[in-house]
Structure formats: C-alpha cells, structure tokens
Structure 1
Amino acid sequence: MAKEKACRRCKVITTGKVCPNCKSTDLSPDWSGIILVFDPAKSQVARTLDITTPNKYALKVS
C-alpha cells in the first residue's frame, strides 16, 4: 500500500507526488486526523474548515 501524504497548502490527502486539489508538490508524510467530505454545501464542518471540494482531508499537517 502506498504511503499517504497530506498537502501543506490545502490539507488534501493523496498517494501521488502532486496534490490533486491545488496542484502543489509541497506534501508532508507527517499529518494526523482524517475528515471525509462528501457534500461540502451541506456540511457544517466543511464550512467551518473552509472546504469547498469533496475529498479526504487531514486535520493537522506538519
């Protein structure tokens, strides 16, 4: 299984070398917490975290 990394800019979790959300290459293997957003328009948590795209996000990225 590939090691998951989190983008330092938008916190999206990915197994690739480039963030699929913001196209950044600034990825960190040191992250914690997961939030899955399916419908950001209906999610209070997504609004609080300013998330507008459905994806898998890290809560904290170092």
Structure 2
Amino acid sequence: MIAEVNQEECIGCESCPEFCPEVFRMEADGLAVAYTNPVPSEFEAAAQEAADGCPAHCIIIT
C-alpha cells in the first residue's frame, strides 16, 4: 500500500496524523505529508481510516 497526500487540496486540518501518525505528519508549511511508504502492513487499516476521514479528500491510497 502506498499513501500520498495531494498538497494542492490539503487544508491542513491535522486529522491524518491523528488517525495514523506512523504514516502521516504535518510539515512546516502546515500541510500533511505521507512520510512512510510503502505503508507497513500493521498500519494499513489506520492509513485507510485517515484517508476515509480526510475532510478534503486529498489522501490517495493505492
């Protein structure tokens, strides 16, 4: 599984690192980034939950 954050659509709400801090973090510019790829299998469910819960719908999981 690969997680990506569309930086152009991210609103900086900080929900994804709350769901899955092992994969997502906030950068200095206030936008989220997926910093762990591929997503370790033990965090796949949490990464998917972060994507599903993103109010901007900017997280892409493949």
Give yes or no for TM over 0.5: no
TM range (shorter): under 0.3
More helix by proportion, 1 or 2? 2
More strand by proportion, 1 or 2? 1
TM-score w.r.t. structure 1 length?
Answer: 0.26
TM-score w.r.t. structure 2 length?
Answer: 0.26
Give the structure with higher Rg (CA): 1
